[in-house]
Amino acid sequence: MSESEPIERLVGLLAKLPGLGRRSARRAVLRMLMQPEALMLPLAAALREAAEAVRPCAVCGNLDTRSPCAICRDPRRERGVICVVEGVADLWALERAQVHRGLYHVLGGTLSALGGVGPEDLAIRPLLARVAEDGAEEVILALPATVDGATTAHYLTDRLRPTGVRVTRLAQGVPVGGALDVLDEGTLAAAVKARRPA
Amino acid sequence: MSESEPIERLVGLLAKLPGLGRRSARRAVLRMLMQPEALMLPLAAALREAAEAVRPCAVCGNLDTRSPCAICRDPRRERGVICVVEGVADLWALERAQVHRGLYHVLGGTLSALGGVGPEDLAIRPLLARVAEDGAEEVILALPATVDGATTAHYLTDRLRPTGVRVTRLAQGVPVGGALDVLDEGTLAAAVKARRPA
Ligand SMILES: [Zn+2]
Ligand SMILES: [Zn+2]
């Protein structure tokens, strides 16, 4: 045991983050210990602030310091076009690409027979309610190009049909099996522009 | 701007850590926001505690909550054998391998003509003082197998010669150009056991 207990605890917590194993967590901790004032304490403060201030938007599921979130409150967004995404990471990726000027709806996952994820586990009922109440013109299904993503898109298309809303999905251009949030912005822009009826 | 300001600040700070780009920082932040109580607040507390409690050991340069550090204070360590490492990451790697039962000395870098790192930039003078005052029997140079590491080993061997201490370095077995802290423990153990005179 050469690593002291506070260091060991910090390494253990950082190693739980996606993309960081114990080795990279140790490197990160060492880097931070070299400049505690410049990096470590600001990071501690930013974590605490985010944990206390950030919450899910009650309308769309985006994460923000206020609910409804900045996108839902923005009067310049097209309120009749709702883009449905699996998670917040995909919402952020589409925002960075600046291709969608409407609103969003975060499902919180995709239907998965193997994973035991059913319609009641996702924010599908709130989506149907939003479409009915707000009189949306179009729902864009921006779901991952996986089997579960396609299953979810089919299910949503069926459920949305009675409302009469136009349902579209992203054009081919999203690689099969690919997650949205790792795509470059040009690919995302092309896929949104060439979207077609679901 | 879909990411709120506290989230953006947190992503920016995390992205400064080695091994984490903006994309993985965003993923990490999203994962944490999913469980603020279980991960985010404990991490904030651990960072603050480590920043406040951890300091360099005045004797060897290791990082610990006390100075002298736990290794320097441990009566079971062989006080006559000092293992010289470039940085704390290498010290931790050797401790994990459990191959060195003596003390350490962290140089804080290696000599580098290109990088403008001279002897006065490293903890060389304190090393010479320790060897002289504590009557060390052996100094093991566990430096990286790079040009700068070899330069540093030669320089230290010259400077240590007048003290009469036995100077050894790690056996071949450390891959050329390789950093110590990415090696598996078996390789490190073999390299320490087969160490030879410098
Ligand atoms: Zn919202
Ligand atoms: Zn020490």
CATH (domain of A171): 3.40.1360.10
**Does residue B58 form part of some domain?**
no
A176 in reach of chain B (CB within 8 A): no
Asked whether the beta carbons of residue B50 and residue A89 sit closer than 8 angstroms, the reply is no
| Residue with token string 């330069």 | B151
Asked whether the beta carbons of residue B19 and residue A19 sit closer than 8 angstroms, the reply is yes
Q: What is the side-by-side strand order in the sheet with A138-142?
A: A102-106, A78-85, A138-142, A166-169, A196-197
B86 in reach of chain A (CB within 8 A): no
**Does residue A116 form part of some domain?**
yes
**Does residue A152 form part of some domain?**
yes
Q: What is the DSSP string of A80-125?
A: EEEEEESSHHHHHHHHHHT---EEEEE-SS--BTTTTB-GGGTTHH
* pLDDT value of position A168: 93
Distance A2 CA to ligand 2 centre (A): 10
What number is the average pLDDT over the span A101-110? 96
Distance A69 CA to ligand 1 centre (A): 4
Confidence of residue A177 (pLDDT cuts 50, 70, 90): low
Q: Of the candidates B16, B19, B45, which has its C-beta nearest A27's C-beta? A: B19
**Residues A28 and A85 reside in one and the same domain:** no
**Residues B173 and B119 reside in one and the same domain:** yes
**Residues B87 and B177 reside in one and the same domain:** yes
Please give the mean pLDDT across all residues of chain A: 89
Tokens (6 digits) for A148: 């579960």
Q: Of the candidates B6, B54, B89, which has its C-beta nearest A26's C-beta? A: B89
* C-alpha span between A83 and A77 (Å, rounded): 12
* C-alpha span between A126 and A119 (Å, rounded): 11
Could you tell me how far CA B3 lies from the centroid of its own chain? 36
Please give the mean pLDDT across all residues of chain B: 89
**Does residue A26 form part of some domain?**
yes
* pLDDT value of position A166: 94
**Residues B26 and B89 reside in one and the same domain:** no
Q: Of the candidates A2, A20, A181, which has its C-beta nearest B92's C-beta? A: A2
- Inter-residue contact B193 to B171 (CB < 8 Å): yes
A179 in reach of chain B (CB within 8 A): no
| pLDDT tens figures, B49-96 | 999 999 999 999 999 999 999 999 999 999 999 999 999 999 998 888
Into how many domains does chain B fold? 2
Q: CA dihedral in degrees (A120, A121, A126, A129; nearest 10)?
A: -20
Tell whether the model's pLDDT for residue B1 goes beyond 60: no
Ligand nearest B72 Cα, by number?
2
Tell whether the model's pLDDT for residue A1 goes beyond 50: no
- Inter-residue contact B103 to B79 (CB < 8 Å): yes
Tokens (6 digits) for B16: 């400064």
Q: Of the candidates B18, B45, B50, which has its C-beta nearest A31's C-beta? A: B18
- Rounded percentage of chain B residues whose pLDDT exceeds 90: 65
What number is the average pLDDT over the span A145-153? 91
Confidence of residue A149 (pLDDT cuts 50, 70, 90): very high
Q: CA dihedral in degrees (B99, B59, B74, B193; nearest 10)?
A: 10
Distance A84 CA to ligand 1 centre (A): 12
Distance A108 CA to ligand 1 centre (A): 14
**Residues A142 and A189 reside in one and the same domain:** yes
Range of the domain at A46: 5-53
Tell whether the model's pLDDT for residue B166 goes beyond 70: yes
**Does residue A58 form part of some domain?**
no
**Does residue B158 form part of some domain?**
yes
Tokens (6 digits) for B34: 């999913």
**Does residue B176 form part of some domain?**
yes
Tokens (6 digits) for A160: 């949305």
Among chain B residues, the shortest Cα distance to A52 is held by: B36
**Residues B148 and B106 reside in one and the same domain:** yes
**Does residue A157 form part of some domain?**
yes
Around Cβ B1, how many Cβ atoms within 10 Å?
Answer: 10
Among residues A187, A188, A186, which one has the least CA distance to residue A142? A188
Residues of A in contact with B69 (CB under 8 A): 4
Helix or strand holding residue A166 (H, E): strand A166-169
Q: Output the domain CATH number for residue A18.
A: 1.10.8.420
Tell whether the model's pLDDT for residue A3 goes beyond 90: no
pTM for this prediction: 0.75
Tell whether the model's pLDDT for residue B158 goes beyond 80: yes
Asked whether the beta carbons of residue B4 and residue A45 sit closer than 8 angstroms, the reply is no
Q: Letter for the amino acid at A59?
A: V
ipTM for the predicted complex comes to: 0.77
**Residues A107 and A34 reside in one and the same domain:** no
Q: Which residues contact A76 (CB under 8 A, 6 or more apart)?
A: A101
* C-alpha span between B125 and B110 (Å, rounded): 14
The CA-based angle A92-A95-A99, given to 5 degrees, is: 145
Chain B segment 24-43 residues within 8 A of A by beta carbon are 24, 26-33, 36-37, 39-43
